[in-house]
């Protein structure tokens, strides 16, 4: 300290002389720098810059810590200096290490050249009262570095565009503190308008301890604001804000609030250590100046604002306590939360409120957020992003989200609310993509601007646990949601929720529980053709379960409370009662009912995705005089609703208006329901609903997204007016509709007596003036030969408002006397069929005068207003007897356009008017075609008999008319045919196939002949070559023998083997040269044998062969010459009297072409060139 005090004296002296001493540490717009003079601080002077706030947060984190260390290590004094009071009244004095500001006005402004406080220095503000404020503005270009103490009984503002750093040793004790790199005008300050603005890139950093008096505040403002120390303001406010322009607002409760009027690029607020404002509030907020989510607010430390008792008996809205509040906000940016946020009430009172809000909000795994109350009600943690995901773990998240385990753990600490807004490319959805389970009596609230998607299970086991789902659009329950507490609650609002319950949701919105029925009906493929919707659930379906039977009223939907049903015994009690009822869990029926379980429904009954299994109803005989509707529910009254329920393995038998689920629906709505098992009856029988019609006001019954897999059968005891369908027996009325539904069960009628109005269909027996859209049937239809009006989808229908659109049937239809079709038996006048088809085969008719009208799509299309448009049939039509059969329509008096028949039509030997498209046409056919073959007594390519109009149509199949003719559009034509053609395309295709086959056979024959000729020629050439070789070899061998014998005779010499070691039977000593001569001769013979063949080769091969022959000839000549020389030497030796000479001498070796052959050693050669040992020289 001696050195420090010496420096202080130098500073005071220089100031008295008007000199300005540069402090050792300063912030500037360019960065944090150490600045020293050459004379006092270093040998040659230095300036070391190392922090650039605008160049990245990672660098920022490291450099601020380094700055703190450097500040603490410099042994200098940096007290406030150059202070000038520019408004208000105040006196500045310095006593030792203390700087005192005595303020006599309530507000004062002091401009300083520098405002820093050394490690052992103190600045004291003496103000008139706690409401007094002193603005300390630094006008010199140097940062404020506070390593000492600042004390004030009132409020202190430190404004420095070069930055403010509270070092690790700093101690701030004030009524209120503002530290800002943003400026405020004198006028605004003196008027109490606390609006700050500026574009400084410098930072405000706290690494020390800042404490505001009870009820006071601490506000750190700038572009980058960081707390690495401890800040406290009991019953007050701690605010950290980043932006370019902001306003401090003081409320009536003395708490401070911050409004950021203008954002800034790369705004950053972060807390790394501890902030406490028990009984008060903590605000951490930043606002971006762009659309790049550049603002960030990060917490890795502890933020605490616990509930405390109020002073002097003061009260709040929560009672005689002050609850805490924590707000962490990034407008146009990201909020990253780890560490701990604490607004709990551990010593009484209710828990507080925590908000984490931003365009993106990411909660780290293990983060602790608590509003738990030990004795009162827990508070709420609000998460407020755009889209939000609950996932298995947040580590891989790039957007907003929280790990399911972290959410569950924090639900033990208080209520959690997630609320989304739309922004950018995100719609404001909330997606539960990982299972969430908690045990506490807390509430999870999901408020979505758009949709809530529950894709994984949610389980709440607390006795009073709750889940609230509020969606501006849809709530989609795609997995199990379950509660086990007696007082557990589920509140759902959809279709326009704006903070209050919505009793009338927006059109097209719903709470959708995914069940097996969710995949009912058809969708259009890429070609616009309806196909069955595929179940993509993977066997995972949604449901809502309240397993505690004591929980009777835990469900509320759009403001309506539901009565929960926990047993079969409770169902009859809702008969005739107006209200809202829900199946709380799966039920299993036992025993046999003799009538409907619920006689009449006059309200809403939702299964919540649950099922009732093994329902058995058997109406006793004899049949009642007045038919009683029978099913789980007998009658559904107008305006009532049944939804999201399944009946498994039902067995229902009754007389009239019989359905597995509902006997009759009089203007109610059924959605998301399904039935399996069997249903049978005499009149108006359907797998799901017996009768679906209108009330007295014309309000129609509506069935949507439902299906039946039940086997449905009529009674053999009742022949007329059966109306039997796989889904619905009878659908009638202009406003009665079946949409997006299907039936897969078989439909049968065993009746025997002939009748024309049985009305049996795979989906609906009768659809009179009703609508069927985007629906299908796949079950086979089997009826007695006496049935009439039988169809794969509908038996009888049409009428002025009767519609079938974008629907299909694939089942086979077997039996029937008249009006039998793959899709529809009879389409009554005015009925419309659009974009629909049938693929099943039709086998019907009998040898009866009234047996007629069989079509691949429709049996009878009757009346001028009946239309079939853009439809087709693929099945074959086989008529066992009767007339009028067509690939599409048996008998047409309506209009057919843009439609096609692809199946074959096969009439019996007595069947008249068979056609590829229509059997008998008295109506209009336009732009249609047939592709199948036609066979019958009288048959035509497109139409068997035509008295109507045919235009722009074609027939492409073969025709076999037993009476002859028919190779045309119509066999019999008394009507009009224009721009229409007949082609036996199949015959043309057969002819073309035959032509191609003949060409193939001929080509194969020619190729086989060529191959055989080539083989014969090759064999001939090979035989000639072998024969030539044999002849030449014999000639050469003979010539060689003759030459040798001639030579031997000329010389008169005898070559004998005189080697005593060899037996007399050994070959003569001349064997080697003889062998060499023979080898040469053999080579010449082989070469000559190939000569004839080789003449066909190239000139190069011929040249090489000649060279080889010449070499062989030279070798033979050399051998002969060597032999003659040997004889001459032998004669010379004999004449000279040399020993061993004369003819009796032994020839030991022969030299041929420089190579010596040792005859004594068996004729082996000696290539060394040396004479053989002991041999003749």
Beta-ladder partners of 587: 612
CB 645 within 8 A of CB 675: no
For residue 230, what pLDDT is reported?
A: 98
Q: Tell me if 843 is assigned to some domain.
A: no
DSSP state of 22: P
Helix (H) or strand (E) holding 14: helix 2-16
Q: How do 237-242 and 281-287 pair as beta strands?
A: parallel
Window from 19-28, 965-974, 1152-1161 with minimum mean pLDDT: 19-28
User: Coil, strand, or helix at residue 669?
Assistant: strand
Taking CA atoms, 515 is separated from 435, 566, 669, in Å, by: 19, 20, 17
Do the Cβ atoms of 300 and 271 come closer than 8 Å? yes
What percent of the chain has pLDDT above 70?
80
Q: How far apart are CA 46 and CA 29, in angstroms?
A: 19
pLDDT in tens, 459-482: 999 999 999 999 999 999 999 999
Residue 827 has pLDDT above 70, yes or no: yes
| Structure tokens, 1155 | 């190579």
Residue 304: domain span: 22-313
Q: What is the pLDDT of residue 718?
A: 64
| CA 768 to mean position of chain CA atoms | 42
Structure tokens at 459: 């389980």
The per-residue pLDDT for 57 is 37
How far CA 1107 is from CA of 861, 1028, 1088, 1110, in Å, comes to: 98, 21, 13, 5
**CA pair distance 232, 278, nearest whole angstrom:** 8
> In which element (H, E) is residue 157 found?
strand 155-159
Alpha-carbon distance of 659 to 680, in angstroms, equals 8
Residue 191, φ and ψ in degrees, nearest 5: -90, -5
Encoded tokens for 710: 């039940």
User: 313, 332, 362 — which closes off a domain?
Assistant: 313
What are the structure tokens assigned to 715, written together?
């009674």
Distance CA(239)–CA(326), nearest Å, equals 10
Give the largest CA-CA distance in the chain: 165
Instruction: Output the pLDDT for position 963.
Output: 85
**Whether the predicted pLDDT of 605 surpasses 90:** yes
Residue pair 711/675 in contact by the 8 Å Cβ criterion: no
Angle at 823 between CA 821 and CA 829, to 5 degrees: 80
CA distances from 755 to 439, 683, 715, 796, 854 (A): 65, 14, 14, 13, 16
Residue 572 has a CB neighbour count (10 Å cut-off) of 12
207 falls within a domain: yes
Estimate to the nearest angstrom the gap between the alpha carbon of 1026 and the chain centroid.
77
Per the structure, the count of domains in the chain is 2
- Across all residues in the chain, what is the average pLDDT? 85
Task: Note the pLDDT tens digit of each residue in 1106-1139.
Answer: 766 666 566 556 655 655 555 565 555 544 444 4
pLDDT at 1082: 52
* Averaged pLDDT for residues 642-650: 99
pLDDT given for residue 61 in this prediction? 38
Is residue 456 domain-resident? Answer: no
Position 48 pLDDT exceeds 70: no
CB 792 within 8 A of CB 810: yes
- Alpha-carbon distance 1048 to 1046, whole Å? 5
pLDDT for position 1121 = 61
Question: CA–CA separation, 763 vs 778, rounded Å?
Answer: 9
Which residues are bridge partners to 968 per DSSP? Answer: none
- The residues near 514 (Cβ < 8 Å, ≥ 6 apart) are 476, 477, 478, 479, 537, 541, 542, 609
Checking if the pLDDT of 1158 tops 90, the result is: no
The whole-number pLDDT of residue 1156 equals: 54
d(CA 217, CA 232): 8
CATH code of the domain in which 97 resides: 2.160.20.10
SS3 100: strand
4: left (phi over 0), alpha (psi -120 to 50) or beta: alpha
Give the DSSP H or E segment for 1126: helix 1099-1136
Instruction: Write down the pLDDT at residue 830.
Output: 93
Dist CA 398 CA 672 (whole Å) = 36
Residue 1115: inside a domain, yes or no? yes
Write down the pLDDT at residue 393.
84
Residue 59, pLDDT > 80, answer no
Residue 309, Cβ density class (10 Å: 0-12 exposed, 13-18 middle, ≥19 buried): middle
* Half-sphere exposure of residue 216: CA atoms within 13 angstroms, side-chain side: 27
Is 43 a member of any domain?
Answer: yes
pLDDT, tens digit, for every residue of 302-350? 999 999 975 433 344 445 689 999 999 999 999 999 999 999 999 999 9
Instruction: Assess contact for 686 and 661: CB atoms under 8 A.
Output: no
In a domain, 1017, yes or no: no
pLDDT at res. 321: 80
Q: How far apart are CA 659 and CA 745, in angstroms?
A: 14
Q: Is 765 exposed, middle or buried (0-12, 13-18, 19+ CB in 10 A)?
A: buried
Beta sheet of 25-28, edge-to-edge order: 25-28, 31-35, 47-51
Of 56-60, 578-582, 740-744, the poorest mean pLDDT is in 56-60
Q: Which residue has the tokens 């260390």?
A: 69
Decide: helix, strand or coil at residue 843. strand
What is the C-alpha separation between 217 and 175, in angstroms, rounded? 7
Q: Residue 1142's pLDDT is what? A: 37
| Whether the predicted pLDDT of 1086 surpasses 90 | no
As a whole number of Å, the end-to-end CA separation of the chain is 126
> Is 248 among the domain residues?
yes
- CB-based contacts of 954: which residues, under 8 Å, 6+ apart? 929, 930, 942, 980, 981, 982, 983
The tens digit of pLDDT for each residue in 351-394 reads 999 999 999 999 999 999 999 999 999 999 999 999 999 999 87
1051 pLDDT band, cuts 50/70/90, is confident
Lowest-confidence region among 2-16, 64-78, 1051-1065, 1124-1138? 2-16
Whether 80 is in a domain gets the answer yes
pLDDT tens track for 467-524:
999 999 999 999 999 999 999 999 999 998 655 555 678 888 999 999 999 999 999 9
The per-residue pLDDT for 1123 is: 53
Higher pLDDT: 1076 or 737? It is: 737
Place of tokens 């009822």: 581
């Amino acid at each position: 300290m001696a050195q420090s005090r010496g420096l202080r004296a130098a500073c005071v002296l220089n100031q008295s002389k008007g000199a300005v001493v540069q402090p050792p540490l300063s912030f500037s717009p360019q960065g944090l720098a150490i600045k020293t003079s050459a004379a006092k601080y270093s040998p040659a002077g230095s300036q070391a810059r190392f922090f650039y706030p605008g160049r990245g947060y990672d660098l920022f984190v490291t450099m601020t810590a380094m700055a703190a260390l450097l500040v603490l290590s410099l042994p200098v004094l940096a007290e406030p200096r150059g202070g000038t009071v520019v408004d208000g009244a105040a006196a500045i004095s310095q006593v030792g290490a203390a700087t005192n500001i005595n303020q006599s006005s309530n507000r004062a402004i002091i401009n300083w050249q520098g405002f820093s406080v050394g490690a052992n220095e103190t600045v004291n503000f003496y103000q008139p009262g706690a409401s007094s404020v002193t603005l300390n503005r630094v006008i010199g270009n140097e940062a404020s570095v506070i390593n000492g103490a600042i004390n004030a009984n009132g409020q202190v503002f430190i404004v420095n565009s070069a930055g403010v750093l509270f070092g690790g040793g700093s101690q701030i004790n004030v009524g209120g503190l503002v530290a800002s790199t943003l400026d405020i005008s004198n006028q605004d300050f003196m008027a109490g308008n606390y609006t700050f603005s500026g574009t400084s890139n410098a930072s405000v950093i706290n690494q020390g301890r800042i404490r505001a008096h009870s009820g006071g505040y601490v506000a750190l403002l700038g572009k980058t604001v960081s707390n690495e120390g401890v800040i406290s303001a009991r019953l007050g406010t701690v605010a950290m804000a980043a932006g370019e322009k902001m306003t401090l607002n003081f409320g009536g409760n003395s708490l401070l609030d911050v409004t950021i009027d203008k954002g800034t690029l790369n705004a950053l607020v972060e807390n790394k250590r501890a902030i406490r404002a028990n009984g008060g509030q903590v605000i951490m907020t930043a606002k971006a100046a762009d659309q790049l989510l550049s603002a960030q607010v990060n917490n890795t430390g502890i933020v605490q604002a616990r509930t405390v008792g109020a002073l002097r008996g003061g009260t709040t809205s929560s009672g005689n306590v002050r609850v805490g509040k924590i707000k962490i906000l990034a407008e146009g940016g990201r909020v990253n939360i780890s560490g701990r946020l604490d607004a709990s009430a551990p010593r009484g009172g209710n828990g507080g409120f925590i908000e984490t809000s931003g365009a993106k909000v990411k909660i780290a795994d293990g983060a602790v957020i608590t509003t738990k109350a030990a004795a009162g009600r827990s508070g709420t943690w609000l998460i407020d992003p755009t889209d939000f995901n609950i996932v298995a773990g947040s580590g891989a998240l790039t957007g907003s989200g929280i790990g399911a385990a972290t959410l569950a753990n924090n639900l033990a600490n208080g209520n959690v609310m997630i609320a989304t807004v739309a922004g950018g490319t995100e719609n404001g959805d909330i997606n539960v993509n990982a299972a969430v389970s908690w045990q506490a009596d807390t509430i999870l609230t999901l408020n979505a601007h758009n949709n809530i998607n529950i894709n994984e299970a949610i389980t709440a086991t607390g006795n009073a646990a709750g889940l609230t789902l509020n969606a501006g659009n849809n709530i989609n329950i795609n997995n199990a949601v379950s509660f086990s507490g007696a007082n557990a609650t589920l509140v759902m609002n959809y279709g326009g929720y704006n903070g209050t319950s919505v009793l009338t949701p927006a059109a097209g919105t719903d709470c959708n529980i995914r069940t097996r029925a969710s995949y009912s009906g058809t969708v259009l493929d890429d070609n616009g053709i309806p196909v069955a919707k595929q179940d993509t659930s993977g066997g995972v379906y949604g449901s809502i379960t309240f397993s505690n039977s004591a929980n009777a009223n835990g469900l509320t939907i759009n403001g309506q409370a539901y009565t929960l049903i926990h047993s079969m015994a409770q169902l009859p009690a809702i008969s005739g009662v107006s209200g809202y009822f829900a199946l709380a869990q799966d039920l299993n029926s036992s025993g046999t009912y003799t009538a409907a379980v619920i006689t009449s429904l006059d309200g809403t009954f939702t299964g919540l995705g649950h099922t009732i299994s093994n329902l058995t109803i058997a109406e006793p005989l004899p049949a009642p005089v007045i038919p009683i509707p029978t099913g789980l529910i007998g009658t559904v009254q107008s305006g009532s609703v049944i939804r999201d329920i399944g009946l498994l393995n039902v067995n229902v038998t009754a007389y009239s208006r019989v359905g597995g689920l509902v006997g009759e629906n009089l203007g109610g709505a059924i959605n998301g329901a399904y039935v399996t098992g069997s249903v049978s009856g005499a009149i108006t029988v359907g797998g799901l609903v017996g009768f679906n019609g209108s009330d007295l006001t014309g309000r129609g019954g509506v069935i949507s997204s439902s299906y039946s897999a039940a086997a449905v059968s009529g009674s053999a005891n009742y022949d007329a007016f059966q109306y039997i369908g796989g889904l619905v027996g009878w659908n009638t009325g202009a406003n009665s509709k079946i949409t997006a539904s299907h039936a897969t069960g078989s439909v049968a009628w065993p009746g025997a007596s002939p009748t024309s109005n049985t009305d049996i269909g795979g989906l609906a027996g009768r659809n009179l003036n009703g609508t069927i859209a985007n629906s299908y049937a796949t079950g086979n239809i089997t009826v007695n030969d006496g049935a009439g009006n039988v169809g794969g989808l509908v038996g009888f229908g049409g009428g002025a408002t009767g519609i079938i659109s974008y629907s299909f049937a694939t089942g086979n239809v077997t039996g029937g006397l008249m009006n039998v079709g793959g899709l529809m038996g009879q389409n009554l006048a005015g009925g419309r069929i659009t974009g629909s088809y049938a693929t099943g085969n039709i086998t019907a008719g009998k040898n009866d005068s009234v047996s007629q009208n069989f079509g691949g799509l429709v049996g009878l299309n009757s009346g001028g207003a009946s239309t079939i448009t853009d439809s087709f049939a693929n099945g074959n039509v086989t008529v066992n007897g009767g007339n009028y059969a067509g690939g599409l329509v048996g008998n047409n008096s309506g209009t057919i356009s843009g439609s096609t028949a692809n199946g074959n039509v096969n009439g019996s030997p007595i069947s008249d008017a068979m056609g590829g498209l229509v059997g008998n046409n008295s109506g209009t056919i336009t732009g249609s075609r047939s592709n199948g073959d036609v066979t019958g007594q009288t048959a035509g390519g497109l139409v068997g008999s035509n008295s109507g109009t045919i235009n722009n149509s074609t027939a492409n199949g073969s025709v076999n008319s037993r009476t002859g003719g028919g190779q045309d559009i119509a066999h019999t034509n008394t009507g009009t045919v224009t721009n229409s053609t007949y082609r036996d395309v199949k015959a043309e295709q057969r002819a073309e196939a035959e032509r191609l086959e003949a060409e193939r056979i001929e080509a194969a024959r020619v190729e086989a002949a060529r191959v055989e000729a080539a083989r014969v020629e090759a064999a001939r050439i090979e035989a000639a070559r072998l024969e030539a070789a044999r002849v030449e070899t014999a000639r050469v061998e003979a010539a060689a023998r003759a030459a040798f014998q001639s030579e031997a005779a000329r010389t008169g010499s005898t070559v004998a083997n005189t080697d005593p070691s060899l037996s007399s039977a050994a070959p003569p000593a001349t064997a080697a040269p003889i062998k060499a001569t023979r080898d040469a001769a053999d080579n010449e013979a082989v070469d000559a044998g190939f000569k004839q063949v080789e003449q066909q080769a190239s000139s190069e091969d011929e040249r090489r062969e000649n060279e080889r022959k010449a070499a062989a000839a030279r070798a033979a000549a050399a051998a002969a010459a060597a032999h003659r020389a040997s004889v001459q030497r032998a004669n010379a030796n004999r004449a000279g009297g040399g020993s061993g000479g004369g003819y009796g001498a032994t020839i030991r070796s022969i030299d041929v072409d420089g190579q010596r052959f040792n005859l004594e050693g068996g004729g082996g050669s000696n290539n060394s060139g040396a004479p053989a040992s002991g041999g003749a020289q």
